[in-house]
């Protein structure tokens, strides 16, 4: 298993292919646009080295028996899923944000573990073996793997093959003996610049005319033909600031637009190529564990919001008792998403490939909570924090240090004891509720309306009607009949 430094070294050794603000980033570990994201992921490697975190962050490989990062393991039980939720909660506690360059790729490899098993059974292909070989390689090298499903999509009402420009969904443009050629893009990919490899999955359920879009594979992030353009972000420029305006330990969520310009993927790295009939179950098996464990992510960030709100109340000279009910509501929101995700895991079952499938109904219900409750928690945090927290409405750390007017600013920021502590807590709330700390759980992992459609299809209205009909005594004769 790799140390944080070995992980960063591996990124430095890659071909520079990440751009932002028109500039090619030579070293993603140092450049202000990507450094925080890399540092956040490096903390995962650090945690895995700690004896007290070993049980959560590492596990024994079901393929080799070797100790590996949990982020490259095959999830085989409810206990593994529980560790997934615990690990994500802890990572949000430590970085305040998302570390998608390990979690989404992990989710993708687990999805394909069962899906390749099913495809091989039907078509006698050897996808499962190929995936196994790649997982062995990934485990041996302790890779950071991002996951890429989201296509640009074009007109949302049209299937990929009906779009004016076929490239708005990543697709196969060449079928060579030794592999396939891909063209198109994947967008909003979390942690792309912090990843060694990118696990590509189809973005939706497809029909026969969309067979060329049904592609799953894994590619090195710096492969020939791949260009990544990082999204502009509220955190931009923060590295240029000083003091509490630029807290050192918080992570930095980044999303990349990944452009595929005729990328040739060797067959050994291809796990689906044209088997459109399996894309529906692929999507379901991706979103189910994802929407389960994401409850841990938002709870982990909620922990920080509760802590920041209490610190702010105290700095204002108020006791947290003033806000007891609000803090209780925040805690309820937190544990609802965490607990619901764990319930989805516990009610799961083993697939014949050996991987664990969480309960899809509960996981999708959790997605709706995850797209709702943390935003209410943010609202409460701002309410407790007051105006200086709401929009970070106060002078910078540098101005507070000014020889000319700093003393006056510090005097007017002081409420209880220390004005600087109050300012620090306020800046943290601004970050948690408005900036990079926003977990992106409205659409990350798919839209809540998509989850609602799933819930609708599984709710079983007629069964419920029958239950009530029985209680109403439908068979009994009505008076006068
Ligand atoms: C922070 C963050 C991190 C992310 N990380 C990743 C990642 O690591 N990997 C990855 O693959 N993706 C990632 N994504 C992308 C995410 O999966 C998508 O944002 C999500 O799937 C929704 O797609 P979209 O943004 O294109 O929304 P749109 O498709 O534009 O949808 C917008 C709204 O319209 C509705 N809608 C769309 N189509 C229809 C229709 N035909 N009929 C009715 N309503 C419709 C949707 O339900 C939604 O409410 C990330 C997103 C965020 C915000």
Q: What pLDDT tens digit does each residue of the chain (481 aa) get? A: 999 999 999 999 999 999 999 999 999 999 988 998 999 999 999 999 999 999 999 999 999 999 999 999 999 999 999 999 999 999 999 998 889 999 999 999 999 999 999 999 999 999 999 999 999 999 999 999 999 999 999 999 999 999 999 999 999 999 988 999 999 999 999 999 999 999 999 999 999 999 999 999 999 999 999 999 999 887 787 777 888 888 777 777 789 999 999 999 999 999 999 999 999 999 999 999 999 999 999 999 999 999 999 999 999 999 899 999 999 999 999 999 999 999 999 999 999 999 999 999 999 999 999 999 999 999 999 999 999 998 889 999 999 999 999 999 999 999 876 778 899 999 999 989 987 666 567 898 899 999 999 999 999 999 999 999 999 987 777 788 7
Task: Answer yes or no: is the C-beta of 444 below 6 A from any ligand 1 atom.
Answer: yes
Query: Which helix (H) or strand (E) element contains residue 188?
Result: strand 179-190
How far apart (Å, rounded) are the C-alpha atoms in residues 472 and 480?
Answer: 17
Task: Answer yes or no: is the C-beta of 300 below 6 A from any ligand 1 atom.
Answer: no
Q: Residue 437: its pLDDT value, please?
A: 60
413 and 293 belong to one structural domain: yes
267 and 334 belong to one structural domain: no
Tokens of 311: 């610190």
Q: Residue 239: its pLDDT value, please?
A: 75
DSSP letters along 97-162, please?
A: S--HHHHHHHHHHHHHHHHHHHHHHHH---HHHHHHHHHHHHHHHT--EEEE-----SSTTS-GGG
Structural domain for 110, as ranges: 4-280
State the closest ligand 1 atom to the C-alpha of 100, by its place in the atom list counted from 1. 8
CB atoms within 10 A of CB 184: 24
323 and 259 belong to one structural domain: no
Ligand 1 mean position, distance from CA 187 (Å): 10
Task: Answer yes or no: is the C-beta of 295 below 6 A from any ligand 1 atom.
Answer: no
Pick from 36, 16, 37: nearest CA to 25? 16
Which residues, in sequence order, are CB contacts of 70 under 8 Å at separation 6+?
48, 56, 57, 58, 59, 80, 83, 84, 87, 106
Is residue 474 in some structural domain?
Answer: no
Ligand 1 mean position, distance from CA 156 (Å): 10
Which 3 state secondary structure label does DSSP give 74? coil
Ligand 1 mean position, distance from CA 45 (Å): 29
CATH of the domain at 239: 2.40.110.10
How far apart (Å, rounded) are the C-alpha atoms in residues 335 and 380?
Answer: 16
97, 150, 377, 431 from 299: Cα distances, Å: 11, 25, 10, 16
Q: Residue 418: its pLDDT value, please?
A: 74
Is residue 306 in some structural domain?
Answer: yes
Domain count, the chain: 2
Is residue 300 in some structural domain?
Answer: yes
355 and 252 belong to one structural domain: no
Task: Answer yes or no: is the C-beta of 105 below 6 A from any ligand 1 atom.
Answer: no
Is residue 464 in some structural domain?
Answer: no
Pick from 213, 206, 155: nearest CA to 182? 213
Burial of 219 (0-12, 13-18, 19+ CB in 10 A): buried
How far apart (Å, rounded) are the C-alpha atoms in residues 212 and 184?
Answer: 12
Burial of 479 (0-12, 13-18, 19+ CB in 10 A): exposed
Task: Answer yes or no: is the C-beta of 170 below 6 A from any ligand 1 atom.
Answer: no
Ligand 1 mean position, distance from CA 447 (Å): 5
How far apart (Å, rounded) are the C-alpha atoms in residues 293 and 304?
Answer: 18
Is residue 473 in some structural domain?
Answer: no
């Amino acid at each position: 298993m790799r140390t944080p430094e070995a992980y960063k070294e591996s990124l430095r050794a890659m071909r520079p292919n990440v751009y932002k603000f028109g500039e090619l980033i030579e070293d993603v570990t140092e450049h202000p646009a990507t450094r925080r994201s890399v540092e956040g992921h490096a903390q995962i490697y650090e945690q895995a080295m700690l004896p007290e975190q070993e049980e959560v962050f590492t596990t024994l490989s079901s393929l080799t028996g070797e100790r590996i990062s949990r982020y490259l393991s095959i999830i085989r039980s409810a206990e593994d899923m529980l560790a997934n939720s615990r690990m994500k909660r802890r990572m949000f506690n430590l970085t305040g944000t998302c570390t998608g360059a390990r979690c989404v790729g992990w989710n993708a490899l687990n999805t394909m573990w069962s899906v390749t098993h099913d495809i091989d059974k039907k078509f006698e292909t050897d996808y499962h073996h190929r995936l196994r070989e790649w997982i062995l390689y990934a485990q041996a090298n302790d890779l950071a793997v991002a996951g890429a499903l989201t296509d640009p999509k074009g007109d949302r009402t049209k299937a990929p093959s009906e779009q004016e420009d076929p490239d708005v969904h990543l697709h196969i443009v060449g079928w060579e003996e030794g592999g396939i050629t891909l063209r198109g893009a994947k967008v909003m990919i979390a942690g792309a610049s912090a990843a060694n490899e990118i696990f590509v999955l189809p973005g939706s359920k497809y029909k026969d005319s969309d067979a060329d879009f049904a592609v799953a594979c894994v590619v090195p992030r710096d492969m020939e033909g791949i260009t990544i353009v990082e999204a502009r972000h509220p955190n931009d420029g923060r590295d240029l600031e000083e003091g509490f305006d630029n807290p050192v330990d918080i992570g930095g969520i980044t999303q990349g637009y990944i452009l595929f310009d005729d990328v040739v993927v060797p067959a050994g790295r291809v796990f689906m190529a044209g088997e459109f009939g399996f894309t529906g179950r692929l999507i379901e098996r991706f979103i189910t564990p994802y929407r389960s464990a994401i409850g841990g992510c938002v709870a982990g960030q909620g922990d920080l919001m509760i802590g920041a709100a209490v610190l702010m109340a105290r700095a204002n000279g108020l006791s947290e008792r003033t806000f007891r009910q609000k803090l209780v509501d925040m805690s309820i929101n937190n544990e609802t998403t965490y607990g619901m995700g764990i319930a989805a895991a516990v009610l799961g079952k083993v697939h014949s490939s050996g991987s664990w499938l969480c309960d899809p109904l509960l996981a999708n219900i959790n997605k709706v909570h995850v797209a709702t409750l943390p935003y209410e928690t943010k609202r409460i945090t701002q309410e407790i924090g007051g105006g200086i927290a709401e929009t970070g409405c106060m002078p910078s750390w540098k101005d507070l240090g000014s020889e000319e007017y700093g003393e006056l600013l510090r005097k007017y920021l002081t409420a209880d004891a220390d004005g600087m502590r109050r300012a620090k807590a306020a800046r943290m709330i601004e970050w948690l509720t408005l900036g990079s700390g926003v977990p992106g759980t409205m659409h990350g992992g798919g839209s809540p309306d998509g989850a609602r459609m799933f819930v609708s299809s599984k709710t079983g209205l007629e069964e419920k009607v029958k239950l009530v009909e029985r209680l109403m005594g439908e068979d009994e004769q009505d008076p006068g009949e």
